[in-house]
Amino acid sequence: MEPTTLVLLPAIPEIFLACAAMALLMIGVFIGDKSLRLVSWLAVGSFVVTAVLLYAFTGWGGRELAFDGLFVADPFALFAKLFILLGSAVAIILSMDYLERENTARFEYPVLIVLATVGMMMMVSANSLISLYVGLELQSLALYVVAAIRRDTIRSTEAGLKYFVLGALSSGMLLYGSSMIYGFTGSIDFAVLAERVQGEASVGVIVGIVFLAAGLAFKVSAVPFHMWTPDVYEGAPTPVTALFATAPKFAAIALFCRVMMEPFGGIADQWQQIVVLISIGSMILGALAAINQTNIKRLMAYSSIGHMGYALIGLAAGSEIGVRGVLIYMAIYIVMNVGTFAIILCMRQQGRMVENISDLAGLSKTHPMMAVALTIFMFSMAGIPPLAGFFSKLYVFLAAIEAQLYTLAVIGVVSSVVGAFYYLRIVKLMYFDEPVETLDRPIGREMGAVIAVSGLFTLLFFVWPAPILNAAAQAAASLFAG
């Protein structure tokens, strides 16, 4: 560790976003709740500026440290951050109509999402266990508030409460694990840990890693720390659910990858089993429990549990190809989910939100374009080629086979088949069943745009996949270069 002057340059995008959040807060306080739309669009604008800054200060090239090595800016972080920004931006765009219509227009909402995004960006750039914890808490606290922001429904309140209690506990576990690792190794910095944790690791370090993994598994909602997911997804307001399902998931998975690969990459063979178990549990539960759901948000909860299981296959492989698979998986996952949630947000009958899967019956007759889009998303989530979701599965399975994790690959395939059942059931419902009550039209302009763009991406990913694949490959490589 060389003594250096404080380098801040690589963290400029984060600093900018944090300042932007403060400015937005001022605007909100000054104008009041009327400013929701203004603040929302400004927040989206600040995300765009942040993305540009990210490109300007990191690029796909090297790896730079800031804050005395606590903060790392590398292509891996860049890749994750770009998709986090995308997810957060879309979550804000999707929420505006909803908040106004449901009488919950609160300027705090976009500001909190911006703050949560700062936390997520810190998470993926964390280079020490405590920075990781701080970033995680930053993100979580903002999300706890967002989850509880609707005060007039029992469901929302209960969801917020559950999310908070279980989330705080998991953060505690993470901190506990960090202190164990510190106790056994005398360090919390990833670079030092990577030197000291080699060969046959001591039991304490393994236990510490288990606790870290438990805390992180909670954030990615992987089995056995998934329990909050269905209740919170269902109870929280739909735009909030859309947010939960996208950006924070990417941040947590990216963090998971960095923690496992950078400081503990040397003992990958010893933690591999943990990740394999988490992955298998998530895939099986996600596929099984989704089958008898009637509420589409609950279904999406189980679906995301399952998807996290697939993404973790790549991590379990513990290789560069595996991490590349994870990144591709998450990128595609975010786009598919954004589109699906936009459609769920369009599910209204006579001005009232509906959430039952059966409300989609006969959608192909009443909203043909929406039905086509949802069909694309469902087929893609089921992993049917040539849609994007197929490629995401392909890459993690390839990584698993290469790492000789055959059991994992086979369980993945089997649970995909079971999982396909409930995605296809929705398609069957839309095309083959008769509509009972039609959904309202027209859908909002922003919704239409989000659905169209994400649908086209999912459909046409295979035509020109190189940009995302190359970027993911470079990002994964950077995690192994350092």
Partner 1 sequence: MESLFAIAIGILTAAAVYMFLARDLPRVLIGFIMLGTAVNMLILAAGRIGSIVPALVAGNESALTAAAANPLPQALILTAIVIGFGLAAFALMLIVKSQRILGTVMPEEMQEAEGDVAPQALPAPAPARRKDAA
Partner 2 sequence: MTHLLALPLLMGIVASLAGTRLPPRHAPLLGAAVAAACFAAYGFLGLGMADGVAVEAAFWSVPALGIGGGLRLDGLGLVFALLISGIGFFIFLYAHRYLEGDKRLTRLSVMLTLFMTAMLGAVTADDVIVLFIFWEMTSLTSFFLVGYDHEKPGARQAALQALLVTAGGGLVLLAGLLMLTVATGTSSLSAIIAMRDIVLTDPTATAAMLLIIVGCFTKSAQIPFHFWLPNAMAAPTPVSAYLHSATMVKLGIYLLARMNPLYQDEALWQSILTWFGLGTAALGALLALRETDLKRILAYTTLTALGTLTLLIGAAPTLTLTAAMAFLVAHALYKAAMFMIAGIVDHETGTRDARALGGLRKAMPATAIATVLAALSMAGLPPFIGFLGKELIYESLLEAGPAALLLIAGMLFVNGVNVAVAGLMAIRLFFGGQRPTPARPHDPPAGMLAGPWTLAALGLAGGLLSGAVGLWIVGPSAGAILGAPVTADLYLWHGFNLVLGLSGLTLATGGALYLGWPRIQPWLAGIAAIDRFGANAGYEKGLAGIIRLSEVSTALIQHGDLRGYLRTLFLVTAAGLLLTLLLRDGFALPGFDSGTVDIRALAFLGIAGGALATVFARTLFGAVVCSGLVGFATALAFLFFGAPDVAFTQFAVETLLVAILAFALVKMPIRRADDRTARDRVKDGGIAIASGVAVTALLLAVLATPFDSRLSDWFGNASLTDAFGRNVVNVILVDFRALDTLGEITVLAIAAFAVLALLRPMLQETRKS
Q: What residues from 229 to 248 belong to the interface with partner 1 (CB under 8 A)?
A: 230-231, 235
According to the binding rule CB under 8 A, does residue 175 interact with partner 1? yes
According to the binding rule CB under 8 A, does residue 162 interact with partner 2? yes
DSSP 355-380: -BGGGGTTHHHH-HHHHHHHHHHHHH
Binding partner at 172 among partner 1, partner 2, none, C-beta below 5 to 8 Å by kind:
partner 1
Binding partner at 1 among partner 2, partner 1, none, C-beta below 5 to 8 Å by kind:
partner 2
According to the binding rule CB under 8 A, does residue 66 interact with partner 2? yes
Q: How far apart are CA 187 and CA 189, in angstroms?
A: 6
According to the binding rule CB under 8 A, does residue 391 interact with partner 2? yes
Site for partner 1 in 100-159 (CB under 8 A): 130, 133-134, 137, 141, 144-145, 148, 151-152, 154-155, 157-158
Site for partner 2 in 409-468 (CB under 8 A): 409-410, 413, 416-418, 420-421, 424-425, 428, 431-433, 462, 465-466
Q: Which x/- pattern over 182-201 shows residues binding partner 1 (rule: CB under 8 A)?
A: xx----x-------------
According to the binding rule CB under 8 A, does residue 161 interact with partner 2? yes
According to the binding rule CB under 8 A, does residue 102 interact with partner 2? no
Q: How far is CA 171 from CA 55, 179, 245, 294, in A?
A: 31, 12, 19, 32
Site for partner 1 in 423-482 (CB under 8 A): none
What ranges in 220-319 are assigned the alpha helix state H?
228-235, 238-245, 247-261, 268-290, 296-317
Binding partner at 45 among partner 1, partner 2, none, C-beta below 5 to 8 Å by kind:
none
What are the backbone dihedrals phi and psi of residue 133, each rounded to the nearest 5 degrees, phi first? -65, -45
Number of residues that bind partner 1 (CB under 8 A): 37
Q: Which x/- pattern over 269-308 shows residues binding partner 1 (rule: CB under 8 A)?
A: -----------------------xxxx--x----------
What are the backbone dihedrals phi and psi of residue 219, each rounded to the nearest 5 degrees, phi first? -65, -35
Q: How far apart are CA 440 and CA 302, in angstroms?
A: 27
Binding partner at 155 among partner 2, partner 1, none, C-beta below 5 to 8 Å by kind:
partner 1
Candidates 195, 179, 175; CA nearest to 263 is 195
Which residues does 15 contact at the CB level (< 8 Å), separation at least 6?
8
Q: How far is CA 367 from CA 322, 353, 371, in A?
A: 39, 16, 6
In sequence order, the β-bridge partners of residue 71 are: 66, 126
Which tokens belong to 446? 């922003």
Candidates 348, 227, 351; CA nearest to 298 is 227
According to the binding rule CB under 8 A, does residue 52 interact with partner 2? no
Binding partner at 66 among partner 2, partner 1, none, C-beta below 5 to 8 Å by kind:
partner 2
According to the binding rule CB under 8 A, does residue 51 interact with partner 2? no
Minimum CB distance to partner 2 smaller for 9 or for 417: 417
Q: How far apart are CA 309 and CA 117, in angstroms?
A: 24
Q: Which stretch, 74-82, 157-165, 335-343, 435-443, contacts partner 2 (CB under 8 A)?
A: 157-165
According to the binding rule CB under 8 A, does residue 361 interact with partner 2? no
Q: How far is the CB of 183 from partner 1 (least distance, A)?
A: 3
Candidates 152, 278, 161, 177; CA nearest to 218 is 278
Strand runs labelled E in 399-452: none
According to the binding rule CB under 8 A, does residue 202 interact with partner 2? yes
Minimum CB distance to partner 2 smaller for 1 or for 350: 1
Binding partner at 38 among partner 2, partner 1, none, C-beta below 5 to 8 Å by kind:
none
DSSP 294-315: -BHHHHHHHHHHHHHHHHHHHH
3-class DSSP assignment, residue 65: strand
3-class DSSP assignment, residue 232: helix
According to the binding rule CB under 8 A, does residue 56 interact with partner 2? no
Minimum CB distance to partner 1 smaller for 357 or for 373: 357
According to the binding rule CB under 8 A, does residue 288 interact with partner 2? yes
Minimum CB distance to partner 2 smaller for 14 or for 359: 14
First to last CA, the chain: 15
Q: Which stretch, 117-125, 245-253, 256-264, 329-337, contacts partner 2 (CB under 8 A)?
A: 117-125
The Cβ of residue 52 has, within 10 Å, a number of other Cβ atoms equal to 12
Q: How far apart are CA 274 and CA 315, in angstroms?
A: 11
According to the binding rule CB under 8 A, does residue 402 interact with partner 2? yes
3-class DSSP assignment, residue 419: helix
Work out the angle between the directed axes of helices 296-317 and 238-245 (0-180°, nearest 10): 10
> Which residues lie near partner 1 (CB under 8 A)?
130, 133-134, 137, 141, 144-145, 148, 151-152, 154-155, 157-158, 160-162, 164-165, 168-169, 172, 175-176, 179-180, 182-183, 188, 230-231, 235, 292-295, 298
